Amino acid sequence: MKVLANDGIATSGVVALEKAGFEVILKTVAQEQLINFINENQIDVLLVRSATKVRKDIIDACSSLKIIGRGGVGMDNIDVEYAREKGLKVINTPAASSHSVAELVFAHLFGMVRFLHDSNQNMPLEGDLKFKELKKSYAKGVELKGKTLGILGFGRIGQATAKIALGVGMKVVAFDPFVDNVTIEFEFYDGQTVNFTINTISKEDVLKQSDFISLHMPAQKEYVISTKEFDMMKNGSGIINAARGGVIDEVALVKAIENGKISNAALDVFENEPTPEIQLLMNTNISLTPHIGGATGEAQGRIGEELASQIIEILG
C-alpha cells in the first residue's frame, strides 16, 4: 500500500510505516495536480498538514484513497464529514504538538513584554550609534509574574499553555463552551506530580479580567475576536493567536493597536496564508512567526509516529 506524505512526515514515521510494509512517497504535489497524482499512483493514504486542502473534489475523484491523515490538531483543511460519509477514515494527532504550540505562545509573550521582536531588528541597525536612546525606548517592559492570562479554548493546547503560565506565576482564567473544569497534572523531572484545577468562566469575563489573551479555538463562521471583544478587554492588554487564521479580525486588531486599546499582539497564523496583509507585517507592535506552532523536531517526531501507528492499526 502507498502513503503520500504531501506536506512531509518525520523520519520516525517513515521508518515505522516502511517496516510495516507500506511504501511512503515523500513528495510535495501541487494542489491542482493532486488528483492526477493520487489516481496515477493508486495512493491509499494521503497525509497532509496545513498546506494541502482535501476537499470534496479530491474525495470524489480518488477512489483508491482509504485514509486521510492530518499531522496536527485542527482539520479545517479537510472535508471531514464528507470523507467519512464516503467511507474514508480521517485521522489526526491532537496531542502530539500541544506543548510545542504552548512554548511558542510564551516565546511570543516573553518577547512582547520586553520588546524583543523590535529590539532584535533595531539593535543591529542602530545599536552602536543610538544605544542610549534604544535603552530608554525598551526600558518600559513588564513582568509576566502576577499577570492574568486568559485562554479561549481549553483543550489540549490551551491546557498546555496554562501549565507554563502557572509555572511562571501567572493567574489563569479560561473559557471553553465544551469544558466546565479541568484538573491539570504537572509532572516534574524527578517524578513528583502536582494537580491544579481550573474552572472555566464566560468568554466575556475572560476578556474583562485578562492582561493577555491566548487563543486556542478553531476557525468559526464569525470571528472569535473582533471590535466588540476588543472593547471588552483591558486597556493596554495583549493578545496572541497561535490557533487558526480567521479567529481574530485582523482589521479590527490593527485598529485596536492604533487606538491604544491593545498594546501588543503576536500572530503565528493569518487570515491570508501564505500572503499575510502588509499592515500586519509592518506593524512594530506585532510579534510575527510563519505558522510554526507545531514545528519542533520533538513534535514532528511524535506526529509521524502517531500517524504511522494509526495507519498500521487500520490497514495493517
| Integer CA distances (angstroms), 61 to 32, 54, 143, 257, in order | 13, 11, 55, 46
Cα-based torsion angle of the residue sequence 26, 295, 76, 178 in order, rounded to the nearest 10 degrees? 140
Q: Write the DSSP assignment of 101-146 as a string of letters.
A: HHHHHHHHHHHHHTTHHHHHHHHHHHTTTSHHHHHHHT-----STT
Q: Write the DSSP assignment of 46-93 as a string of letters.
A: EEE-SSS-B-HHHHHH-TT--EEEESSS--TTB-HHHHHHTT-EEEE-
Name the DSSP letter for residue 34. Answer: H
What grid cell was written down for 3? 502513503
Distance CA(3)–CA(308), nearest Å, equals 10
Cβ atoms of residues 70 and 48 within 8 Å: yes
Distance CA(164)–CA(266), nearest Å, equals 17
Distance CA(95)–CA(157), nearest Å, equals 8
Could you identify the residue written with the cell 512531509? Answer: 8
Could you identify the residue written with the cell 491542482? Answer: 32
What grid cell was written down for 222? 464569525
Q: Which are the catalytic amino acids?
A: 244, 273, 291
